[in-house]
Amino acid sequence: GAVVSQHPSRVICKSGTSVKIECRSLDFQATTMFWYRQFPKQSLMLMATSNEGSKATYEQGVEKDKFLINHASLTLSTLTVTSAHPEDSSFYICSARDPRLAGGNEQFFGPGTRLTVL
């Protein structure tokens, strides 16, 4: 149980285009979803926290107009990288939390999406 999927797993796009990444909780209701970015050989950096039906809360230094997050249902959150540039190339990972699962604190992570911007 508590499986999180991401789609696509890998995407290559041209500079200036927008890319949408989906994060789904398959067998539980994710009241909260988190989006992380991970550069090679570095740790996960939290980008934003989204609660279903609410606007996402972005971490300091993360441009909300560039990284659009939508959490319209309890099982789906999307991250759209707008006008992507090569420096946006990274590994994007989502996680989901259901306060009714595992004591409420545990986050269940997706497999990640590798974005390469040419």
**10-38 core/surface letters (b: 16 or more CB in 10 A; e: else):** ebebeeeeebebbbbbeebebbbbbbbbe
Contacts of residue 83, defined as CB under 8 A and 6 or more positions apart, other chains included, come to: 16, 17, 18, 66
Interaction of residue 14 with other proteins, rule CB under 8 A: no
The least distance separating other proteins from the CB of residue 3, rounded to whole angstroms, comes to 11
Interaction of residue 114 with other proteins, rule CB under 8 A: yes
User: Is-contact 18 68, C-beta < 8 A?
Assistant: no
The least distance separating other proteins from the CB of residue 68, rounded to whole angstroms, comes to 20
Distances (CA, A) of 12 to 16, 32, 69: 12, 28, 20
Interaction of residue 98 with other proteins, rule CB under 8 A: no
Residues 74-93 that bind other proteins (CB under 8 A): 91, 93
Interaction of residue 70 with other proteins, rule CB under 8 A: no
Interaction of residue 71 with other proteins, rule CB under 8 A: no
The least distance separating other proteins from the CB of residue 15, rounded to whole angstroms, comes to 23
Interaction of residue 7 with other proteins, rule CB under 8 A: no
